[in-house]
């Protein structure tokens, strides 16, 4: 196979950081063969600035500082939303009738992502947006309530467990829509996951972090897309 030639600046959260749940140790750890590591084995240089637990507002602050210093790359991959769509579940469990909002309200998320695209393009760089892998709402509900948070109160707030899936999907759809509106390069990782026979086989028991197999699916989607425009192709494809 022809190696991929290029330098990608990566900005995201635990997804692109390569964090997964070590089910034996019961803690989060970085996968040895995460999506970015797999991409490097294809020949790419991946400058990974992703951070565990990062929201888009935190990522925007870090990206702003990096752009001011200067970023050298063939493309800049942006992935946020998984932490932005989440809630303070302890607060929800304490008082489900209170007006709880996600860590980053959807309108703030969309506006900040748009600001990111503008700033990256002003520097003459090529941004790539990435949709979010789907989550398993039932697993995540069991995960957040495993330590004793009031399940009944959280369910009262949600209405149904599927609300968790729909809330996360809303942020992924926002990424997709913005890519279309701004004519931005876009990798449909969510579609790649949904094409798989059993979604649960690609996720950790927490229901939100892709496992090793999930990272391979992400790499395949990213590789397929990058081979269409990065330099180094010998077949003339763009």
Range of the domain at 192: 7-226
**pLDDT tens digits, one per residue of 139-176:** 999 999 999 999 999 999 999 999 999 999 999 999 99
Per-residue pLDDT at 231: 59
Distance CA 228, CA 67 (A): 26
Q: Is residue 237 part of a domain?
A: no
The share of the chain scoring above pLDDT 90, in percent, equals: 91
Q: Is residue 48 part of a domain?
A: yes
65 burial via Cβ count (<10 Å: 0-12, 13-18, 19+): exposed
Q: Is residue 233 part of a domain?
A: no
Q: Is residue 143 part of a domain?
A: yes
Distance CA 6, CA 179 (A): 22
Closest residue by Cα to residue 81 from 179, 7, 149: 179
Closest residue by Cα to residue 154 from 94, 86, 235, 234: 94
pLDDT band for 136, please (50, 70, 90 cuts). Answer: very high
pLDDT band for 25, please (50, 70, 90 cuts). Answer: confident
Closest residue by Cα to residue 210 from 28, 11, 9, 24: 28
Per-residue pLDDT at 1: 65
Distance CA 195, CA 172 (A): 16
Distance CA 61, CA 42 (A): 30
Mean of the per-residue pLDDT values of the chain: 94
CATH number for the domain spanning 68: value is 3.40.50.1110
**pLDDT tens digits, one per residue of 58-93:** 999 999 999 999 999 999 999 999 999 999 999 999
The share of the chain scoring above pLDDT 70, in percent, equals: 96
Q: Is residue 174 part of a domain?
A: yes
Distance CA 147, CA 100 (A): 21
Per-residue pLDDT at 223: 95
Q: Is residue 238 part of a domain?
A: no
**pLDDT tens digits, one per residue of 85-126:** 999 999 999 999 999 999 999 999 999 999 999 999 999 999
Per-residue pLDDT at 37: 97
Count of domains for the chain: 1
Q: Is residue 83 part of a domain?
A: yes
Q: Do residues 21 and 28 lie in contact, with contact meaning Cβ atoms separated by under 8 Å?
A: yes
Does the predicted TM-score (pTM) go above 0.95? Answer: no
Q: Is residue 236 part of a domain?
A: no
């Amino acid at each position: 196979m022809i190696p991929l030639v290029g330098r990608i600046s990566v900005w995201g959260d635990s997804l692109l950081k390569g964090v997964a749940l070590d089910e034996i140790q019961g803690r989060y750890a970085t996968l040895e063969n995460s999506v970015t590591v797999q991409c490097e084995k294809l020949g790419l240089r991946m400058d990974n600035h992703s951070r565990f637990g990062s929201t888009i507002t935190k990522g925007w602050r870090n990206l702003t500082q990096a752009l001011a210093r200067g970023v050298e790359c063939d493309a800049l991959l942006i992935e946020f939303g998984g932490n932005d769509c989440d809630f303070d579940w302890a607060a929800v469990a304490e008082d489900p009738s209170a007006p709880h909002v996600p860590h980053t309200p959807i309108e703030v998320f969309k506006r900040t992502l748009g600001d990111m695209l503008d700033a990256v393009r002003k520097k003459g760089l090529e941004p790539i947006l990435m949709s979010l892998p789907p989550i398993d709402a039932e697993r995540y509900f069991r995960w957040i309530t495993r330590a004793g948070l009031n399940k009944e109160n959280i369910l009262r707030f949600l209405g149904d467990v599927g609300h968790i899936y729909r809330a996360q999907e809303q942020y992924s759809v926002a990424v997709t829509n913005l890519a279309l509106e701004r004519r931005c390069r876009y990798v449909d990782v969510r579609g790649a996951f949904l094409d798989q026979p059993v979604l649960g086989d690609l996720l950790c028991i927490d229901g939100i972090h892709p496992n090793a197999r999930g990272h391979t699916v992400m790499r395949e989607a990213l590789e397929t897309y990058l081979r269409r425009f990065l330099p180094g192709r010998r077949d003339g494809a763009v």
